[in-house]
Amino acid sequence: MKVLVINAGSSSIKYQFFTMATERVIAKGLVERIGEPQGRVVQEVDGQKREHRLPIANHSAAFQVIVRELMEGESPVIKSKDEIEAVGHRVVHGGEAFKASVRITEAVLKAIRARVPLAPLHNPPNLSGIEAAQALLPDVPHVAVFDTAFHQEMPPTAFMYALPYELYEQDRIRRYGFHGTSHAYVSRRAAAMLGRLVEHFRCITCHLGNGCSMAAVRDGHSVDTSMGLTPLEGLVMGTRSGDLDPAITFHLASVKGLDLGEINSILNRESGLLGLSGLSNDMRSVTEAAAGGHARAKLALDVFAYRIKKYIGSYLAVLGGAEAIVFTGGIGENNGAMRAAATTGLEELGVKIDAEKNAKARGEADVSAADSRVKILVVPTNEELVIARDTAEIAGK
């Protein structure tokens, strides 16, 4: 079966086209600057990238561009759109309605639409992507894979905020968690790498990219995670603050006279590595500046690592110990210094990194010292593969 995986954002669509027999990516690409006078399309086939520019009015036009690229690009990978046998869509917020991936029906679309207030930036473009794809490929199964689904097994002790209960009952205000496909994938890979069954395995997964979250995973289920109602809670991120005293928002309003939009922008777009360093949301730039003696860049790295370490400690408590700590995402996979900073000092808790293995790690790797009770692993995430697998499985039923 050939499966197209779609990740639709507000002004871009990322895609990967899989052949499921070998789970090989036949083509992958990005359509961006949707709605701007000049859009951009990049497609990669067999390591060869090809880019061109053209106006792309909306998601519907973008999806047509994707199918055309697959059929008529410099290296066409299909002869007709009928060769796309199923489409998998990343959907950010499934609320409490979805504990697993589902085939998209009218009722599913309605349920995703009903969760727009919980994810106003993400669910609307996800819906546009689905509608565009369904319009062009009406006869194939479309499957929704939710960022929130893996965390739906969390117990109420982990997902409830200590707010008036009516806010949960009436408005579904609770912790949901995100990056679920990534946490699910790397926790399973980690168990496999250690020759363990995921059903009897405790691990702490750290997805550190531009967005960052951690999860405590017991026996294949997420039992706690650092993101909450929205992807703002938890770790320090590229531009997001993560955890803070909620009274800071009242303070910003009453003392500085900021309105809700301005406060939202500070917390989501001007904080994190960018806010602390004053330089960049990109870990590479901040690391370079810190190495050159930039004090605020160094502070940003220290706060970033300290927050991860605090969550490792709390998740060791939640799980009653763990077999592994797993690092993934652009930073978790590539930045050995951050892995070391986040785990150094935890030796009494059975966590001991091997400096040499950590420095050399490429791809999947065990970077823990031989006598580390808790293994420290690096596992490149592959959310698209999870989406493709779920889609093929559901489409095949």
**Of 210, 268, 314, 344, the one binding ligand AMP by CB under 6 A:** 210
Residues 311-350, mask of contacts with ligand AMP (x by CB under 6 A): ------------------xxx--xx---------------
- The H-or-E segment that residue 186 falls in is helix 180-193
CB of 335 to ligand AMP, least distance (A): 4
Which ranges constitute the DSSP H helices of 320-354?
Answer: 329-334, 336-343
Q: By the 8 A CB rule, do 13 and 66 touch? A: yes
Angle between helices 247-254 and 260-269 (to 10 degrees): 130
Query: Among all residues, whose Cβ is closest to ligand AMP?
Result: 330
Distances 181 to 106, 111, 142, 212, 221 between C-alpha atoms, Å: 24, 20, 17, 14, 12
Catalytic position from the list 46, 82, 139, 147: 147
**Of 29, 95, 125, 209, the one binding ligand AMP by CB under 6 A:** 209
Q: By the 8 A CB rule, do 272 and 240 touch? A: yes
Query: In this complex, which beta carbon is closest to ligand AMP, that of residue 134 or of residue 285?
Result: 285
Annotate 147-177 with b (16+ C-beta within 10 A) or e (fewer).
Answer: bbbbbbbbeeebbeeeeeeeeeeeebbbbbb
User: 70 is written with which tokens?
Assistant: 């697959």
Give the C-alpha separation, 282 to 169, whole Å: 39
Q: Is 198 exposed, middle or buried (0-12, 13-18, 19+ CB in 10 A)?
A: middle
Residue with tokens 């990516």: 25
Whether 147 is a known active-site residue: answer: yes
Number of residues that bind ligand AMP (CB under 6 A): 11
CB of 122 to ligand AMP, least distance (A): 15
User: 347 is written with which tokens?
Assistant: 């030796």
Site for ligand AMP in 266-285 (CB under 6 A): 282-284
Query: In this complex, which beta carbon is closest to ligand AMP, that of residue 152 or of residue 205?
Result: 205
User: Angle at CA 220, nearest 5°, toward 216 and 225?
Assistant: 25
Give the C-alpha separation, 344 to 351, whole Å: 8
- Torsions phi, psi of 75, nearest 5? -120, 80
Query: In this complex, which beta carbon is closest to ligand AMP, that of residue 331 or of residue 387?
Result: 331
Query: In this complex, which beta carbon is closest to ligand AMP, that of residue 177 or of residue 238?
Result: 238
Query: In this complex, which beta carbon is closest to ligand AMP, that of residue 109 or of residue 340?
Result: 340
Give the C-alpha separation, 180 to 268, whole Å: 20
Residue 234, interface with ligand AMP (CB under 6 A)?
A: no
CB of 329 to ligand AMP, least distance (A): 4
CB of 179 to ligand AMP, least distance (A): 10
Query: In this complex, which beta carbon is closest to ligand AMP, that of residue 60 or of residue 210?
Result: 210
CB of 212 to ligand AMP, least distance (A): 9
CB of 280 to ligand AMP, least distance (A): 8
Footprint on this chain of ligand AMP (rule: CB under 6 A): 209-210, 238, 282-284, 329-331, 334-335
Residues marked active site are found at 147
